[in-house]
Structure 1
Amino acid sequence: MKLHSPVAVVTGGSRGIGAAIGRRLAADGARVALLARHIAPARDVAEAIGQAGGHAQAFACDVTDPDALQRTMSEIAGLFGPIDVLVNNAGVADMKSLGELSRAHYESQFHGNTWSVIASTEAALPHFNAEGGSIVNVSSTLAQRPEAGLSIYSASKAAVDALTHAFARELGPRRIRVNAVAPHITATDMTAGLPAEHLAEETRQTPLGRLARPEDVADAVAFLVSADARWVNGRTLVTDGGRI
């Protein structure tokens, strides 16, 4: 599935789902800008993409900092040309139950998961292709079916779903589509530390009999940014193997 638009920005592109998205979009012909707070692992991903015949470059950027984002998006547009695709993948996750919740916890989850989507989108829009483009936000099935201990994280991702629909309505006249993917638990280094019994139970409850791999989510993103999804807008695509 070849991309119609060649310049793609992926936040949180140094590992896991973000790295897989970067690899897939590059394989589809995009020139990929990988944004990450820590640039060394993002450079490793970009180098691997280059060795595979693709084109990618890493950029150090705090996606909750509007000034840093504006500088980075301007640099990307100057190097690559107008932006056609933005994937808001960067995020944070922290478990806390009722009785442990605090304003600091609330702010960290909404800052990292919700404000980052707003700030990255605002910074990218002035550099988007005049002919339109595509934005994909990475949400979570927990936005639809929260679990104990993840109430604030779930709420921050539910806000991402709401932003996705609202932004799609605002940006439709500019021919910029906005969608989201909502994976369930995915086998990455972020989830590797979860108890083995929890991972086994998640696997048991998934009809397809395994946990998601980052590539499963990346393939869904590749569809949403492609011309094949030209009439999909303002929607959240659940990518969970039937788990919920």
Structure 2
Amino acid sequence: MTHQDNFSLKGKTAIITGSGKGIGKAIALAFAEAGANVVCVARTQADIDAVAEQASQYGVKSLAVVCDVMDESALNALVVQTLEVMGQVDILVNNAGGARPGPAMSVSGEQLTRDFEFNVTTAFNLCRIVAPHLQAQSGSIVNITSAAARYSQKNFSSYGTSKAALDHLTHLLAAEFAPTIRVNAISPGAIMTEALEQFLDEASTQAVIERTPMKAMGKPEDIANAAVFLASPAARWITGKTLEVDGGAESTPWPF
């Protein structure tokens, strides 16, 4: 295998949740450029149709599947449809997730439970559903967590807790699924996405940049490049690890 082949995903099929926008979209397109057939998953048909169309321009097969990851029956249907169209599944990227920041005193127990379900339970369910098919392909899973899982900061009690759980779930599943399925995570720091732009004005953006050792905001492509690496043969001896892609920030760069 050549050095270039080590970073190729040619002949692989990847499911990427939350791939209508932002980090998920960047991962889907990077995978397609690396040669993978991609299954773009989100709740908004128009978004994933556009990403799937863009991905197909790299000469790969693409599929857009509308799916609410909170619905376990929809996750089962997603995998069935993927196998019918693509014939196999080699890579799963659990990217769908999120939670609004806010003071702990304003977060209800119901909201905490819902955030946990969105960020952890959905990923666990899809891992469990896809695992037998990944095992047949010696495949891999990449979970997208967050630097909020390890930063001590205000207003992230629910989101940070759920992402920390996803981090540890990654390590536990890696131990259980080895040696046939590799399971890793990527922990993004401050990534400039459409979702984040609405919270930051020019002054707060500059403050984040100043508090980040690399003196720049991250881009979705930075996470996508890390995902290509972890899903590729180049990472064949890596499992149960969380790759921190955060510009070197060892504590929160948020100025709030």
1:8 aligns with 2:33: no
1:184 aligns with 2:189: yes
Partner secondary structure for residue 95 of structure 1: coil
Which residue identity lines up with residue 184 of structure 1 in the other structure? G
1:203 aligns with 2:238: no
The superposition leaves residues 9-38 of structure 1 with CA deviations (integer Å, 9 ceiling, x where unpaired) of 000010000000000001111000011111
> What is the rounded CA distance, in whole Å, between the counterparts of 2:137 and 2:129 in structure 1?
18
Aligned residues: 243
Q: Is the 8 A contact 2:89 2:137 kept in 1?
A: no
Q: List alignment gaps of at least 5 residues for structure 2.
A: 1-6, 251-256
> What is the rounded CA distance, in whole Å, between the counterparts of 2:235 and 2:29 in structure 1?
20
1:159 aligns with 2:165: yes
The superposition leaves residues 106-153 of structure 1 with CA deviations (integer Å, 9 ceiling, x where unpaired) of 022111111111111122123325141110000111111132101110
Which residue identity lines up with residue 183 of structure 1 in the other structure? P
Which residue identity lines up with residue 185 of structure 1 in the other structure? A
Q: Which runs of 4+ in 1 moved over 4 A?
A: none
Q: Is the 8 A contact 2:38 2:55 kept in 1?
A: no
Larger mean Cα displacement after TM superposition, 155-164 or 36-45? 36-45
The residue that corresponds to 2:47 in the other structure is 41
Q: Is the 8 A contact 2:99 2:158 kept in 1?
A: no
**Offset at residue 52 of structure 1 (A):** 4.1
> What is the rounded CA distance, in whole Å, between the counterparts of 2:88 and 2:58 in structure 1?
24
Partner secondary structure for residue 38 of structure 2: strand
Partner secondary structure for residue 191 of structure 2: coil
The residue that corresponds to 1:118 in the other structure is 124
> What is the rounded CA distance, in whole Å, between the counterparts of 1:148 and 1:5 in structure 2?
44
> What is the rounded CA distance, in whole Å, between the counterparts of 1:169 and 1:5 in structure 2?
26
Partner secondary structure for residue 59 of structure 2: coil
Q: Is the 8 A contact 2:26 2:224 kept in 1?
A: yes
Indicate how the Cα distance of structure 1 residues 131 and 41 shifts in structure 2: closer, same or farther if over 3 A, else same. Answer: closer
Q: List alignment gaps of at least 5 residues for structure 1.
A: none
Which residue identity lines up with residue 171 of structure 2 in the other structure? H
**Offset at residue 86 of structure 1 (A):** 0.2
The residue that corresponds to 1:21 in the other structure is 27
Which residue identity lines up with residue 123 of structure 1 in the other structure? I
The residue that corresponds to 1:50 in the other structure is 56
Which residue identity lines up with residue 41 of structure 2 in the other structure? L
